[in-house]
Chains A and B, each alone.
Chain A
Amino acid sequence: DAGVIQSPRHEVTEMGQEVTLRCKPISGHDYLFWYRQTMMRGLELLIYFNNNVPIDDSGMPEDRFSAKMPNASFSTLKIQPSEPRDSAVYFCASSPPPGQGAYEQYFGPGTRLTVT
């Protein structure tokens, strides 16, 4: 398997613009997670899905952030409008059903977002 795939790898945009980050989880994994990593705040869980349904979005910083998972192989994280403080590395991760005994999450390479 190719692992978790994220695109784009780098994104530079101006304040106020809409940004869409994309993720393809590992096939067969039914949990998908979006994280944000910054020097100041470390690694933060933003939202996670199970079987394409959002389960916990308590980490989403504000209404400017939204995430969708229209099918088992694709998820998006959208920021509209973007602000300089959104600059961070955004990771997508997936994990298999607990019954498969794996429990660990597998991370994508991340999208480095810079908002100027």
Chain B
Amino acid sequence: AQSVAQPEDQVNVAEGNPLTVKCTYSVSGNPYLFWYVQYPNRGLQFLLKYITGDNLVKGSYGFEAEFNKSQTSFHLKKPSALVSDSALYFCAARRNTGFQKLVFGTGTRLLVSP
């Protein structure tokens, strides 16, 4: 069965510091990987994806993520955090063959302090 783990319920970082939100996955075969962000009282918003090619993918709002096949990880990163980045972040994965349902992690709350 496919699964996604986000080991941290919450990540705290000071504004201007780099941030990392961790994600590991278990998918048979090669994965498609995604990050979504959810602001209060809003739907999930797509941030970035890894489909194939370069292991470092760049997305919206200065976020990037690195696909590491050997560690089955897809950590979300940003070089300099903003207070406005404070939100709930979801990692998701699916197999890259046919159509597969997305499996979501439990979410990580990011709090950026001024």
Interface, chain A (partner B; CB < 8 A): 4, 31, 42-43, 45, 48, 50, 56, 91, 93, 98, 101, 103-110, 112
Interface, chain B (partner A; CB < 8 A): 32, 34, 36, 41-46, 49, 51, 90, 94, 99, 101-102, 104, 106-107
A43, B90: Cβ atoms closer than 8 Å: yes
B99, A50: Cβ atoms closer than 8 Å: yes
Closest CB in chain B relative to A97 CB, distance in Å:
9
Interface centre among B43, B44, B46, B102 (most CB of A within 10 A): B43
A107, B101: Cβ atoms closer than 8 Å: no
> A109 with B32: in contact, given A42-B104, A104-B49 (CB under 8 Å)?
no
B49, A107: Cβ atoms closer than 8 Å: no
Interface centre among A31, A105, A106 (most CB of B within 10 A): A105
A109, B107: Cβ atoms closer than 8 Å: no
B46, A104: Cβ atoms closer than 8 Å: yes
B104, A43: Cβ atoms closer than 8 Å: yes
Provide the residues of chain A in CB contact with B44, threshold 8 Å. Answer: 43, 91, 93, 107
B32, A105: Cβ atoms closer than 8 Å: no
CA distance A108 to B38 in the complex (A): 11
A48, B51: Cβ atoms closer than 8 Å: no
Provide the residues of chain B in CB contact with A45, threshold 8 Å. Answer: 101-102
